Structure 1
Amino acid sequence: MWLQVLGVLCLLPNSLALPLPLPLPLEAGGLSEQEWKQAQNYLKRFYPYSFRAKDENSLKSKLKEMQKFFGLPTTGILSSRVKEIMQKPRCGVPDVLNFSISPSKAKWTSDIITYRIASYTVDLPESTVDELVEKALDIWSEKIPIEFQRVFFEDADIVIRFTRGVHGDAYPFDGPGNTLAHAFFPGEGLGGDVHFDADEYWTNDSSTGTNFLFVATHELGHSLGLSHSSDPNAVMYPTYKEGDMKDFGLSKDDIESIQKLYGKRPELKYP
């Protein structure tokens, strides 16, 4: 009986045989297939392809690009440290930008920039959101000759809103965790606008949820024209990090970068 069954199985055509799974590439670093797919999606999103040579657009090349950005050995193999970084909540703006995403040295040409808060989170009182947005803007304006003016009904340079999922741009949010917010660089239309994922739990402290001031200050840096920084102490570092609010402020890298765009704020002279 068993010999007959085995004989039938051996006679099955090759087209009916179950396909064997392809081995994952070396750069997968021993991950499961699902984990490797998640890593691929991360690299494609935050290290987007350009119009350069094909080999420079390979996943291995993008992995090396990420490792270089975060100051890790550029092995081209997905290590546990890289995986850890990929799993952290972060800003939705890519770490490596090409011209199509951000024109070189995009900046506002006026010394007065208007902003409007178009919608709010249910997690914080509206007055608290207003206060924290103003504080985040003040953190930047203290270092550059720019003033921010709030408007309520008319068009504004920077429109701030809380939204979720697919919300009218090419960058849908993904629910709690992962991408927290994104912002657009200075320009027309969406230029300067900031979107926060309404599915996050936004707070005004550093012990629970996601601190709104931390993220707002980061995103408004993009609104002013800054890209991500590789300095882990910088506000413009792409991943969210918890910390004591009393120590929160711009790093040397943040200050040098924003002043490179707009110059230094004149010192006040007293008689």
Structure 2
Amino acid sequence: MAAKICHQLLGAFLTILVLQPLVVKSRPVKLGSHQRSCGCPGGPTSGGLDVNMNNSLSSERWLKFPVTYGFRSGYVVPPGLDHKAVTSVIDVAFGKWKAAVPDPQFAFQRITPGDNANIKINFTPLPGYHGYGYYPPNGSLYLDNSHTSWSTKPSPAGNEVDLLSAVLNVVGHTLGLADSTDSNAVMYPILNYGSIKRNLSPEDISRIQNLYLYSMSHLELAKSI
């Protein structure tokens, strides 16, 4: 009996050893947003956002289209990433947000270099964060190049951050969306290492439509009067 108990305890101990790396690898990735208009990353704000009943920002949005985006001059892709792959991921992310709003006016255009773009993209050290997006009219989009192992592979490793999943979130911030409390949403501020979230959730789509589709239709009505 004693031998059996010892065997069970040894088995439980080995199980903990095996599972421990998985627990470590599931630590959260922090994605942030900020309303303050400036040219550098800042800490998350705790207030000052104009939020309506649909949980969408009702004023921080782009008013002229197409909204342009591009990389700042002299930006450097972190080691292990390919420039073309990164550009493709950025294009795909903007394409997914565009597809969510069925209005031809809601469009984006990539320009090179992106120093004069509405949304300026750059890799820079982001202590405590992996991605950071500023609301309009700033539109700055930052991705970490100091402590993040980015992945553009179909399946990221357990210690990597999926670039498309993170970019979808920070692009949403640069379009005017605040964080979501729905863990299934792209706009949820936490993304686990090794996980993917590459498609907008119904809540993401509803929020971006509330922010742009409704307001743009009223803009057209005002023009016609």
Question: TM-score by structure 2 length?
Answer: 0.66
Per the alignment, residue 124 of structure 1 pairs with 81
Q: Residue 117 and residue 238 in structure 1: after superposition, are their counterparts in 2 closer, same or farther (change >3 A)?
A: same
Q: Cα distance 1:182–1:215, how it changes in 2: closer, same or farther (>3 A)?
A: same
- The amino acid across from 2:111 in the alignment is V
Query: Which shifted more, 113-122 or 210-219?
Result: 113-122
2:206 aligns with 256
Given the alignment, which residue of 107, 113, 116 partners 1:147? 107
Determine the C-alpha separation between the residues in 1 that align with 2:182 and 2:59: 19
In structure 2, relative to structure 1, the CA distance for the partners of 1:256 and 1:128 (3 Å cut) is: same
Residue 150 of structure 1, CA deviation: 1.1
Gaps of at least 5 residues in structure 1 are 1-83, 165-172, 267-271
Question: Which one has a larger percent strand, Structure 1 or Structure 2?
Answer: 2
Q: Distance in 1 between matches of 2:193 and 2:149?
A: 14
Name the structure 2 match of 1:215: 166
Aligned to 2:19: none
Deviation readout 1:86-121 (Å, 9 max, x if unpaired): x62211333743249xx8530000120001112232
Against the structure 1 CA distance between its residues 99 and 250, is the aligned structure 2 distance closer, same or farther, given a 3 Å change threshold?
closer
Residue pairs, 1:130-169, within 5 angstroms: 130-144=87-101, 145=103, 146-153=106-113, 155-164=116-125
Contact 1:95 1:228 in 2 (8 A): no
User: Which structure ranks higher in relative contact order (CA pairs < 8 Å, sequence separation ≥ 6)?
Assistant: 2
C-alpha distance in 2 between matches for 1:121 and 1:148:
25
Q: CA RMSD in A?
A: 2.6
In 1, Cα distance between the equivalents of 2:29 and 2:96? 23
- Structure 2 unmatched ranges of 5 or more: 1-23, 34-43, 51-56, 218-225
* Cα offsets for 1:172-206 (capped at 9, x unmatched): x22xxx4111110011xxx1110111021111133
Distance 1:97 1:241 in 2: 26
Aligned partner of 1:202 in structure 2 is: 150
**Is 1:113–1:149's contact at 8 Å kept on the other side of the alignment?**
yes
Tell me the residue number matched to 1:90: 30
Deviation at 1:124, TM superposition (A): 1.0
TM-score under structure 1 normalisation?
A: 0.55
Following superposition, the deviation at residue 218 of structure 1 comes to 0.4
In the comparison of the two structures, how many residue pairs are matched?
164
C-alpha deviation, 1:215, in angstroms: 0.4
SS of alignment partner, residue 89 of structure 1 = strand
